[in-house]
Structure 1
Amino acid sequence: MVKASAQVEKKGKEKNDTASLWFPNPRVASIRSAIIPGWGQVYNGKIWKVPIVYAALGVTGWYFLSNRTYYKQLRLGAVVGTQIIEKKRPKDSTDYHKIKDENVKLAIDRGRLQEVRYYRDRVRRELDYAVLYFAIAWALNVVEASVDAHLQSFDISPNLSFNIERDTVSWLKRAGSVW
């Protein structure tokens, strides 16, 4: 746990503030978000971000599952279509009836096996991208928790000051003067 205390100046007297501030540890927030998505956001006190995290993971997870289901149909269609075209298996086989997608069955019936293989490869590529998207969403969850924990201790009060002074020594050195 990181603690900080503030110095309060009151009418020329300096007094220690008895209240201590708690700032979340970025490492703990990162580890918690890596274990369970959204746990780091809850640890940081930003509970409103949890639905966003789960929406991102849910959408990418749904994308993966829907592509996986369609890929299995296309893969089965490619195998069964190859067997039917090469006359190794009759069209009324059990595997043919396992194909639920009517478009795949129609392509096999018309002898368009190249079309089924093309879509199988394309959906496989999308399936790989879906895994990547899910991993990126999970990593963004961890990074966001860490960055948010780091920025909790950042002072944004209006009492910040900025003082600009000229460095005359370096200015004189550039002008060619020697002390």
Structure 2
Amino acid sequence: MNKIYFIVLFLFTLGTTAVFSQSKTVAPLIAKDTLKSKDIDPLTPAKAAFYSAILPGLGQAYNKKYWKIPIVYGAIGVSMYYYIDSNQKYHQYRDAYKRRLEGYTDDEFSYYDNDRLISAQKFYQRNRDLSALFVVGFYVLNIVDANVDAALIQFNVNENLTVRPDVYMNDVTSRANVGLTFNYNF
């Protein structure tokens, strides 16, 4: 029994000395195309989101995605235009209705009755509110886009990693099936 303990202890000692006796010239087994930890800046997405919150499109400029800036301003600008237009028309119909209630009939909508003025007010009020929602939505989407884009810039995209569509035969039903293959080449 003591001989077994002695042999196990001897093999363990021999194994650990072999592990710790490696020379320092041996390079660690790290792939050449991986990112080093100093290349990743965890504050980059927060900076991009902050810049986009300050001025829409500034986060996209920080990420060097200049082609997105006209899209951001186009989406926010068109929504803002419809908000302003619907708000003006809402106030026109509302003021005309208020003048009708006071007894005046000389407004620009003299060919409308009171029910039509009320329905026009509701229509433009609803459009104004929806346009305000779109302005806020596109503003938030601008911030989220800058944040996600800044996070994905640091993502390591490798030539060895592929996702491809694949058509294969099902052995049971002998029909063609469509799927995706996920391949990693070492």
Give the shorter-chain TM-score range.
0.5 to 0.7
1:62 aligns with: 81
1:81 aligns with: 100
Shift of 1:22: 6.8
Identity %: 32
1:169 aligns with: none
Gaps of 5+ in 1: 1-11, 85-89, 97-101, 164-179
Gaps of 5+ in 2: 1-25, 162-182
RMSD, matched Cα: 2.9
Runs of 4+ in 1 over 6 A off after TM superposition: 12-17
User: TM-score when scaled to structure 1?
Assistant: 0.66
Q: In 1, distance between residues paired with 2:82 and 2:143?
A: 21
One-letter amino acid of the structure 1 residue matched with residue 87 of structure 2: R
1:106 aligns with: 111
Shift of 1:122: 1.7
Shift of 1:91: 3.6
1:3 aligns with: none
Shift of 1:38: 0.3
Shift of 1:162: 3.5
Higher relative contact order, structure no. (Cα contacts within 8 Å, ≥ 6 residues apart) = 1
**Partner-residue secondary structure (3-state), 1:106:** coil
2:170 aligns with: none
Superposed, which structure 2 residues align to 1:14-53 within 5 Å?
Answer: 21=39, 25-53=44-72
Shift of 1:21: 4.7
Shift of 1:121: 1.3
Q: In 2, distance between residues paired with 1:33 and 1:114?
A: 45
User: TM-score when scaled to structure 2?
Assistant: 0.63
Shift of 1:105: 2.7
